[in-house]
Every structure is written in structure tokens, then in C-alpha cells.
Amino acid sequence: MSDTIAPAPRQDQGRYTAVAIWLHWIIAGLLLASILYGWSLEDQRETISSYEEFLELKSGFNWHKTFGILILVLSLFRLGWRLTHKVPPLPDGMAAWERVAARITHIGFYALIIGLPIGGYMAASAYGSEQPILLFDAIELPKLPIPQTPEMQQLTGSMHGAGTWVLIAFFVVHVAAAMKHELVKNDGVLARMIPFIR
């Protein structure tokens, strides 16, 4: 008879729908690409030395805006999907504070993935007609009716940048919690959002 203690079995918590899973990863990928690309564009802004580089930078910002609008559309669809489809329950062993933290994190994520693109849209709208918003660098998007002043450009740009750092903080907490569930609690939570796992 062995004295070895077997690990606790993973709980069957159910899975998110395929639509929810793919929206999760597509939006996450677009967010990461948009943030990194936005930072690279800001670096390029500081080193422009020719008109050709200026045109290239304008094109790059239009693609950054395109990513933002795609994120906004997909996030609104994801929110609608979440409100109309049942999600897997939280594990039974979670403490009350963990449940509250998970709820706050999820609400915060939805606020950010919808609010950040809207904030970016506002920031782009604060510039005059010399800087149109071109989706896919070709299709002009109407600007929001906000003042087109340097003060509004500074305010909306700063808020958009600050929101990005808040999103990064939420992302770090989200990943850390997922790793805790997978490596420490072994409760199968992470597998609920991994594609191709049944």
C-alpha cells in the first residue's frame, strides 16, 4: 500500500463558448499589437527627418486607429455575447474576496477594452481636417463633435496613454491569477479559455 498522496483532481468547470474563446484571444492579440505599434509610432515621431517619413508616420497612425476601431467593434460584440450566453461558474473553492476581485477585474477589462478605443477616437477627433481618420489607411471615418484644440488634443492624448498603462496593470493581474489557478490550485480554470481543448 503506497503512502503517496495523489494530487487533487481537476474540477470540471465547463467551458466558455467557442465564440467567447476566439473573441478573447483575437481581442487580446489586437490589443497587444496596437499597444506595441503605438509605442513604436511615438518613438518614430521623435526622429522624423523627411517628408516621406512624415507620410509613413501618418499612415502608421491610421493603422493604429484601425486596430482601435476593430477592437471596439469586437469588444462590443463580445459584451453582447457575454450578456446573452451563460458563462462557466467560478470554482467552488474560491474565497469570497477572490470572487469579488475576479468580478472587478472582468468589469474593469470590459470598461478598458471599450473605453480605450473610444478615448483614442476622441483623441484623433481633436485634430483638424489636415489629419483625417482613415480606416485601413483608405476609408475616412467621421470625427466626433469635440473641440479641435491643442488643449483637447493634450487632454485626450494623455487620458488615452494613461488608460493604456491601466490596461497593462489589469493584464498583469489577469495573467498572474490565471497562472495561480493553473499551477497552484489546479482547478482547470485556465483550460476553459484555451482553444481546441475539450
Among candidate residues 190, 160, 181, the one with its CA nearest the CA of residue 34: 160
Reported confidence tier of residue 165, pLDDT bands at 50, 70, 90? very high
pLDDT tens digits, 31-68: 999 999 999 999 998 888 888 888 899 999 999 999 99
Are the CB atoms for 152 and 146 separated by under 8 Å? yes
Reported confidence tier of residue 184, pLDDT bands at 50, 70, 90? confident
Residue 197 has pLDDT above 50, yes or no: yes
Euclidean distance between CA atoms 54 and 60, whole angstroms: 10
Among candidate residues 38, 24, 64, 20, the one with its CA nearest the CA of residue 174: 24
Euclidean distance between CA atoms 64 and 4, whole angstroms: 55
Overall pTM surpassing 0.95 (yes/no): no
Summarize the confidence of residues 160-178 as an average pLDDT: 93
Q: Return the domain boundaries, the chain.
A: 18-193
Express as a percent the part of the chain with pLDDT over 90.
61
CATH assignment of 18-193, given 1.20.950, 1.10.10, 1.10.238, 1.10.730? 1.20.950
Reported confidence tier of residue 89, pLDDT bands at 50, 70, 90? confident
Q: Coil, helix or strand for 140?
A: strand
Residue 1 has pLDDT above 70, yes or no: no
Helix (H) or strand (E) holding 133: strand 133-135
pLDDT tens digits, 95-142: 888 889 889 999 999 999 999 999 999 999 999 888 999 999 999 999
Among candidate residues 66, 60, 72, 65, the one with its CA nearest the CA of residue 23: 72
CA diameter of the chain: 80
